Structure 1
């Protein structure tokens, strides 16, 4: 109740403060507003922070720091948690909870040294009487003298005092009473000098009444121009660097003078914009370096202006004052900085979006200056370019040498996409190239040819650090090649003969190779020697691709025998795994055979036990080490499994047909059925042999040889992975397993499945014949005189035999024979329908895809069609 009363009082106060009408006049609206306020206040029941959860979180954080070998950070945290817990206050858990929620990666972002900045300064020691007396002892004799209390009386301030003016004294040194005479420091001026100074101040002169203009000398114009170029305010030029129309040179043509001064004003305006841009500094280091380079060139420009001013201010020899000469001199040494000012004006709006746009523009302008033979501009911009490039090379150097990225460094084109990814995806998923619009790399354009190599070098270093061999196997780091103007363009005065872009790319490739080869040579040696990449690929060829036909046949026969026995657990994955390891251990080392794992889908339908479709539910896996999983990616394993299944289906087809002996076919009494059965058996065995020979000899062996040769020349893991993916894709296409060849593959499976139908039909016929033989043997043993019960049982058996003969077929002159003929002719008709479809499809895709192996397979399959 107390809580409700408190809520009601608060809601009344809230309504009173918000509503402007009188509650007495509009009671209904006031009550409605009060109900809304109460409902809103009662609906928010915020629970207090659980202090035990906060303490548990802090304890887990302390444990995490110690596990990560940051005992210093854990001790600092424990000390401050104990200190704050000792202070009384009910809001301490809430404050700690807020700090925990605001924390972000404390292990990486925390520095214990920063805590020293929070310590209050040590207070100075208290002043003691001993220190006071030591500094100013009271044993002085003046302490006992009488005090003149009237000397500082305020009453004396009311009386006017008359000071005596000291007479001028030629002495400038101090007198006996240590006072100075200020008038002794005044020096009488020369009236002629003052007149000349006032005469030089032309801006104070009055205009001529005839034309309203002030006449100035050429020297005054030169000085004003030099002041304007230096960024100082002048009278001849306005703030926008336009020439004032009120001044003119009487001895020169006005149009000529105005033209020269206007061009000089344009130069000053461009340089003024450059100064204004430098007054708006940036926070990005890359742009700060550019600003420092521009500021340095601007200082050199001011030094050149100072030399010109010195020529007119204190000339060493008689000098002719010429505004035209000044114009030519200024235009000569201002050309490089004017080009720089133009570059800054063009890129200024884009610097916030693209912080390295100045590198691209400088690179292009240096190349342009070389082609147009502007030697001074080439050297000027080239030095600025290489100075700015050094800052961009710092994150690149850190990435290529240590595999580290700056925190939130969006100027570098590599970033960490998923820091928590598995080690098997380290190479492909953890780090990503930063791309912008239209999938363009976020880096200077001249870096794009080498961006992938830079990217792979850093990933190689991260890979080695993950393997723990970064410090033990890397050789000593060689001296880094220089990447500056002298190293790239040479120290000659003349322009280089080769294009600047080619010179830079050659030098930059040398710079990259000095870091790239160090990391990758070690990584490549580890992948090939320690991880056994080629040996693993060869094991894949044996396990999945039937490189050793005898071993693969043993494995297939073992599976087929378990299928035909019709055991309920024939596809038990544990039994099949032990079976596969035992069989393949005869060809592979034990360390590799133990990596084999068999997975199966439990489908034990008895009707499908002889169908080749059941083999698609048995999948072979191989446990790869994580370094090799970055090369043999998981997406390629299903293709290996599809090829293995296809081969098993071919083996299964021949296995089923070889179980039908020619003697059993010879027992068929009807001649046409016997001939048709021979024909189907021979055709299906021929089909299985052609397909198996095509897969192993025409597809797998050449592809593996090409892949192995290319893999031995690969330079990095990206290239290894690309070679393997190309190899797997080539296997998939040539083995008819790709998506666009699915219709042909399904037709081949239907052809192979005809063997299962034929085998099943033959097994049923033999079962009927065996039952008939047993029946005849039973009839011979029966007595001639039969009882009524025996006659009845014999009639029932005869009826059942007739039913079985209708389904399976046994005699030549009965409906059973007709049923056998329908089944065999149906299989033969389906074979003759599907085989031309397969050959026509192979020829069609062979012409479109320009794949000769499909044409070869079509020719081999058409042999049987032509013979037929």
Structure 2
């Protein structure tokens, strides 16, 4: 308590002395706040001890720094002293070492072992220095100037101070003023100047500058003409400077051309010959200058950057050749000849001249037409090879393969990983927005060929689709978690081997490029396609899905379909709620549950909208178009069997169901007729019509199922076994569906024949309804007068039944239940007249169908149409007249 009281008293005194506040205000809130803050600062334990481990770590780091900077002597000295300190440790050693580390100033730069060593030696008494020991004459300490103030900043800088510290760290910090002398202005030694006796050399150099007017005064050569004669060496050097892109006096650069100053002449050459010679040099220089300007243009396309670098290397080689020629001119006894120089320049600038012509054709279209440069280079090499210029074609081929390898990096990335490089604007694959996995193959990626296929090199057009397929296969495999091992090294090796000089000697250039790219593509395409094919066959259920579609849509098992048809057709005949989607789905799932290939949970039956159904005749087979059967496929299989293919399956399924509907109506009517009506002698026409209609229906259905669908399905399986990638599988299935649509008469170009067949089916249903109405009308007319017998209008209304009748019916209800939907009248025409009308319609429609099939068979040549047409034609002649 005494300590606390003393601390409080001292705190009050400290606050009073610092803040100058009167002691009378001791109880104010401000004073109390200050007191709490001061006590908090003085409280015991507010400052922690130094972390000894952090200090040790800093010292170790300092030793490593000395060793990295090749100051091993400092590291060893520090280590030995730390070892020595370990023997005499005390509690404040970490604080002491931390303080020394914080006070250190660039120890690796300013410390020396000598300075450290001097501390270990016993201090020696400094020797006394007297004025008599100094030589006053000619010494730095002579004269009265030693007492003057010295301006150290005038002739020194921070660097001088730094160097002085580094060079002599043992020197005292405060030196006598006389030790720093003021340096006088630097005087250039006379020996570096040309002595006066070399004035002739200076005059010679000045005279060599022929462009000076005073050196070559103009000499008149006629009216308004003047010329200056120069040496051939001077003209040759001017030409070399011009070819190197330097400004000269003889050649002027005007736009893209090199103009010649005709005021310079040679003493031993005519002006016309010299002008012609210089014109040749000017044309070559203009082309080379165009190349120099091209490589200065910034390029954003990767392969164009590689192309510019290759052209720049060739320019460097050309400049080096010119420098060697110029160096040869300086040799003693060398011969200077402009003609020889022209021959040498033409030889070494041939490749650059060809590139200049190509660049001129390229123009400024490298951004709008990103592949034009590669195409032009390819065409140039092929042309040189055809002309027999092997040297130029071989060197340009190496440049082409460098550019081509840079260009194919995006292609390799796409084929090996399925990724698109967004920074490469020249790549022809564009990634769309990812969506449903069922449309991965068709919608996630697209070929961005650009206008007029400007993003695809002409020599790669045949392989673009294979590249596109290989990349999509990798994306497909990635979503199936079945990625392939890396194949990048194989692809790189292929390009390097083909682009080597030895390979170019064996094959023409076009064949070399084709071979290189085919190997690059085939390695990735074949591996990804085979792996994806295995995944689709073994794990994705492709074959079981095809088998399920055969059962659901194409009537592969009639025993299953007959159960569905019987229930649906019965509900339609009774006029009940046959279009309930829950009822239809349950009926279908129950019927197909016995087939292992079908997953009934994927099966869904959806009727059309109410408005479209009400607008149709319930006795027509067209009403069955309201039923839509959907079978959901796994997303990998859905990429092969597309939604368009499912729609084709549904159209074929509806057509087959319509045929079964007509046959069901006629068979049920014949069964009722056999039960309730005795055989009449004048019913020959009715029996003949019934027989021929039933034969027509059976033959049409049998032709479609047992011949068309069965044969096409076998062909599909064979084609799928031979496919190599998903695109081939999709194409095979699309061909299969197109063939089925055509042969099953549901394609758009066969709509007249299809409508005629539907009319025939409706006619069969109408024929059965006439017989049913006639049977009902005959039994009712026995109770009426004979005058009204033949004109009886039969229109049966539905009767009310209990709920139990919706599920179970007796035999009488089974026989007559379909009459609830009949609206047949004999008021306008008799039963016999309507039967004869039915016969005429049947003959007309059967003839139309047969003739139409024969016509399209002659046009397209499908054998199934010929077979169907011949059978219908044969049967038509056997119909009873």
When residues 637 and 800 of structure 1 are mapped into structure 2, their CA distance, relative to the original with a 3 A threshold, is farther
When residues 187 and 176 of structure 1 are mapped into structure 2, their CA distance, relative to the original with a 3 A threshold, is farther
Asked if structure 1 preserves the Cα contact closer than 8 Å seen for 2:415 and 2:474, the reply is: yes
Aligned to 1:239: 253
Unpaired runs of 5+ residues, structure 1, are 1-126, 155-174, 776-797, 810-814
| CA deviation after TM superposition for structure 1 residue 437, in Å | 2.7
Aligned to 1:837: 848
Q: How many residues align?
A: 680
Q: Distance in 2 between matches of 1:343 and 1:261?
A: 24
1:148 aligns with 2:148: yes
Aligned to 2:706: 697
| CA deviation after TM superposition for structure 1 residue 693, in Å | 1.4
1:455 aligned to 459, 468, 473, which one? 468
| CA deviation after TM superposition for structure 1 residue 640, in Å | 0.8
| CA deviation after TM superposition for structure 1 residue 827, in Å | 1.2
Report Cα offsets for 1:529-574 as digits up to 9, x if no partner: 11121221122112211122333333323322333344x2333222
Aligned to 1:193: 201
1:588 aligns with 2:596: yes
Report Cα offsets for 1:319-372 as digits up to 9, x if no partner: 322111111111011100111111112212211211221111001111111101
Q: Distance in 1 between matches of 2:529 and 2:339?
A: 63
State the TM-score, normalizing by the size of structure 2: 0.71
| CA deviation after TM superposition for structure 1 residue 806, in Å | 1.2
Q: Distance in 1 between matches of 2:719 and 2:506?
A: 38
Asked if structure 1 preserves the Cα contact closer than 8 Å seen for 2:232 and 2:336, the reply is: yes
Q: Distance in 2 between matches of 1:151 and 1:600?
A: 107
* Partner SS for 1:182: coil
1:384 aligns with 2:399: yes
1:358 aligned to 359, 373, 384, which one? 373
When residues 829 and 505 of structure 1 are mapped into structure 2, their CA distance, relative to the original with a 3 A threshold, is same
1:479 aligns with 2:484: no
Deviates more, 1:400-409 or 1:525-534: 400-409
When residues 724 and 131 of structure 1 are mapped into structure 2, their CA distance, relative to the original with a 3 A threshold, is closer
Report Cα offsets for 1:627-680 as digits up to 9, x if no partner: 111110001112111111111122222222222337936986795641111011
When residues 670 and 627 of structure 1 are mapped into structure 2, their CA distance, relative to the original with a 3 A threshold, is closer
Q: Distance in 2 between matches of 1:274 and 1:618?
A: 72
Asked if structure 1 preserves the Cα contact closer than 8 Å seen for 2:438 and 2:635, the reply is: yes
Q: Distance in 2 between matches of 1:151 and 1:640?
A: 104
Q: What does 1:609-688 correspond to in 2, within 5 Å? A: 609-661=618-670, 664=673, 673-688=682-697
| CA deviation after TM superposition for structure 1 residue 309, in Å | 1.4
Aligned to 1:35: none
Asked if structure 1 preserves the Cα contact closer than 8 Å seen for 2:219 and 2:228, the reply is: no
* Partner SS for 1:427: helix
Aligned to 2:870: 859
When residues 216 and 444 of structure 1 are mapped into structure 2, their CA distance, relative to the original with a 3 A threshold, is same
Aligned to 2:456: 443
1:598 aligns with 2:605: yes
* Partner SS for 1:319: coil
Aligned to 2:832: 821
When residues 861 and 700 of structure 1 are mapped into structure 2, their CA distance, relative to the original with a 3 A threshold, is same
| CA deviation after TM superposition for structure 1 residue 489, in Å | 6.1
Report Cα offsets for 1:360-399 as digits up to 9, x if no partner: 1001111111101112221232122122222211221221
| CA deviation after TM superposition for structure 1 residue 413, in Å | 0.6
When residues 131 and 230 of structure 1 are mapped into structure 2, their CA distance, relative to the original with a 3 A threshold, is closer
1:227 aligned to 234, 241, 246, which one? 241
| CA deviation after TM superposition for structure 1 residue 296, in Å | 1.7
Asked if structure 2 preserves the Cα contact closer than 8 Å seen for 1:474 and 1:519, the reply is: no
Q: What does 1:766-777 correspond to in 2, within 5 Å? A: 766-771=775-780
Asked if structure 1 preserves the Cα contact closer than 8 Å seen for 2:371 and 2:457, the reply is: yes
Q: Distance in 2 between matches of 1:676 and 1:699?
A: 32
Aligned to 2:361: 346
* Partner SS for 1:598: strand
Q: What does 1:46-85 correspond to in 2, within 5 Å? A: none
When residues 197 and 586 of structure 1 are mapped into structure 2, their CA distance, relative to the original with a 3 A threshold, is same
Report Cα offsets for 1:463-490 as digits up to 9, x if no partner: 12222222xx547666224355762464
When residues 575 and 801 of structure 1 are mapped into structure 2, their CA distance, relative to the original with a 3 A threshold, is farther
Asked if structure 1 preserves the Cα contact closer than 8 Å seen for 2:491 and 2:520, the reply is: yes
Q: Distance in 2 between matches of 1:500 and 1:196?
A: 56
Asked if structure 1 preserves the Cα contact closer than 8 Å seen for 2:287 and 2:356, the reply is: yes
Unpaired runs of 5+ residues, structure 2, are 1-100, 112-125, 130-139, 155-180, 796-825
Asked if structure 1 preserves the Cα contact closer than 8 Å seen for 2:381 and 2:509, the reply is: yes
Asked if structure 1 preserves the Cα contact closer than 8 Å seen for 2:708 and 2:740, the reply is: yes
1:299 aligns with 2:316: yes
Asked if structure 2 preserves the Cα contact closer than 8 Å seen for 1:478 and 1:514, the reply is: no
Aligned to 2:267: 250
Q: Distance in 2 between matches of 1:651 and 1:702?
A: 21
* Partner SS for 1:206: coil
When residues 808 and 569 of structure 1 are mapped into structure 2, their CA distance, relative to the original with a 3 A threshold, is closer
2:581 aligned to 553, 573, 598, which one? 573
When residues 484 and 535 of structure 1 are mapped into structure 2, their CA distance, relative to the original with a 3 A threshold, is closer
Q: Distance in 2 between matches of 1:481 and 1:276?
A: 33
